[in-house]
Chain A
Amino acid sequence: MPDEPLVLGIETSCDETGVGIVRGHTLLADALASSVEQHARFGGVVPEVASRAHLEAIVPTMRRALDEAKVTLADIDAIAVTAGPGLAGALLVGVAAAKGYALATDKPIYGVNHLAAHVAVDTLEHGPLPEPAIAMLVSGGHSSLLLVDDVTAGVTPLGATIDDAAGEAFDKVARLLGLGFPGGPAIDRLAREGDGAAIPFPRGLTAAKDLAAHRYDFSFSGLKTAVARWVEARQREGTTIPVADVAASFQEAVCDVLTAKAIEACRAHGVDTLVIGGGVAANSRLRALASLRAEKNGIRVRVPRPQLCTDNGAMVAALGSHLVAAGVAPSRLDLPVDSAMPLTVVTA
């Protein structure tokens, strides 16, 4: 439908420069530039390196997105940009660029919440989201369970990690096993050759005493330490490390806790739809285990394709389009970035 608004989305909260374009809820373009290789030797994202890369990438990435969508900036009806949470210096590059585009084209700008965008992107692939729904967002920067009543108005946080994010645990264990950065894809690949039941690694915050205060929270720091202890003990004995079994057993421990708590949240809230987003949603074991457990409980699992799970511009455009459709007022030109933007804020 040509009458539907053409919305641009800009994402620069971490190490990916993303520009997405949607018409209504149809994805027209999703261009991405990543600085991940520049961070690899540091074992994690270096904020200043990421910010420098965003400034270099923003204009060329925009050009690619416009070419892909076969539109011009003059055709755009609204501009959405991630205003938080994320790395402050990185967010500032995207927000400054978005303001420049808005000033030049005299179009409204929406500063949006990155996590709500991770939820909204699924509508590009699977259509309108039945609300309320439960969303689980798992990446190198966040691990959250959310109750989504209305993605344009605010989401209710149910729980989050109390230490490392799930993706961070993958990175740290991958480093321990000498698999490089980022760790998620490497562990996923190696785990396919291993036995997930080989080593009984701990499941954080699942004991009865922890559930009282942390029913929907996660903890991956103890798991990471347990893996390190197990590996070091064998190194001292001089025995060969069964790397594939360690990877599979670690991955199983993470996916077991994540899916168990997500399904429990659905049951407790009488919700029959679970949306999973964030880079860790690309993990094959997480997808399989979530589907298996959801099916047993009559819950539908929605996971966007991997390119839409990791950080991208399309997710920001998708949320922007929902905000335009809902008649939400745009942000002002003095829109700040908020590196710790709370989930209750969808548009700043």
Chain B
Amino acid sequence: MLILALDTATPASTAGVAEVTGTDPHVHGLAERRTVDARAHGELLAPQIHATLEEAGVRPRDLAAIVAGVGPGPYTGLRVGLATAASMGQALGIPTYGVCSLDGLGRAAGPGRVLVATDARRREIYYATYVDGRRMSGPEVAKPFSFAGQADRAVGEGAVRYSDILGVPIDEHVLYPPGAALIALAADRILGKADGEVLTPLYLRRPDAVEPAARKTVLP
């Protein structure tokens, strides 16, 4: 089954195409592209999907499902990926599956006790902890603090940014959620032909909006 994965929960816009077969299950990556620009998901993602599908030799109508990283991540970019995945899924009549973007990083990080941290802006991180790729805590959003003793290493661009505070060695090879990892995380649902789901972002924060205070008078 040919699967498209999208993720825009970090400064990266990622598109990946993989074939999933029912042995184990097995995920065979066909093409994957990534560009890193925190302010340009809206411009970069769609051409990248087009190029990735072409490189994989896959037409959109050949796709069996779409997997999208649902965050957590800065909202504006995150919504670009989810709106694109949802509309493609609707137009193609195929299911869409959401996967926590931090889980993609946690899986890509491999064995051991791992902290995944991405930049949540406002001097905060989105984070979750993993043992052998399985999430143990999170996802949460907080000011960076020390994870010494709780994790053996940290991955994600947020970990690089706050390495001095986190107190664990940083693995700079794993910065953004790979499309193939997201597809692997949804492989059971894909092979089981599970119903698709509405892609709901993990915002973790409420909108900043304040109800207006009493109106100021104009007379002195």
Contact = CB atoms under 8 A, between A and B. Distances in A.
Give the interface SS of chain B, mostly helix, strand, loop or mixed: helix
Interface in A306-340: 332-337
Interface in B43-82: 43-47, 49-50, 60-61, 75-76, 79-82
Interface of B: 42-47, 49-50, 60-61, 75-76, 79-88, 90-92, 198, 201, 203, 207-212, 215, 217-219
Give the top 10 A-B pairs by smallest Cβ distance, nearest first.
A100-B87, A104-B91, A48-B207, A99-B46, A96-B83, A100-B84, A97-B87, A46-B209, A100-B88, A333-B46
A176 interface: yes
B218 A175 contact: no
Contacts of A43: 211-212
Contacts of B75: 48, 51-52, 89
Nearest to A96: B83
Contacts of A336: 42-43
Contacts of A176: 215
Nearest to B212: A43
Q: Which bucket holds chain A's interface residue count?
A: 35 or more
Given A51-B76, A89-B79, A58 B219 contact: no
B76 A106 contact: no
Contacts of B43: 334-336
A99 B217 contact: no
A51 B19 CA distance: 33
A93 B65 CA distance: 21
A62 interface: yes
A48 B217 CA distance: 29
Contacts of B210: 42
A284 to B, nearest CB: 27
Nearest to A95: B42
Interface string A251-288: 00000000000000000000000000000000000000
Nearest to A91: B42
20 contacts: A48-B208, A49-B209, A51-B75, A52-B75, A54-B79, A55-B83, A58-B86, A59-B90, A92-B76, A92-B80, A96-B46, A97-B87, A99-B84, A100-B83, A100-B86, A104-B91, A105-B91, A232-B217, A334-B43, A336-B43
B5 to A, nearest CB: 14
B23 to A, nearest CB: 29
Contacts of A209: none
B198 to A, nearest CB: 8
A63 B89 CA distance: 12
A296 interface: no
Contacts of B88: 100-101, 103-104
A65 to B, nearest CB: 12
A285 to B, nearest CB: 25
A236 interface: yes
B85 A92 contact: no
A123 B48 CA distance: 37
Contacts of A42: 209-212
A176 B217 CA distance: 10
A344 interface: no
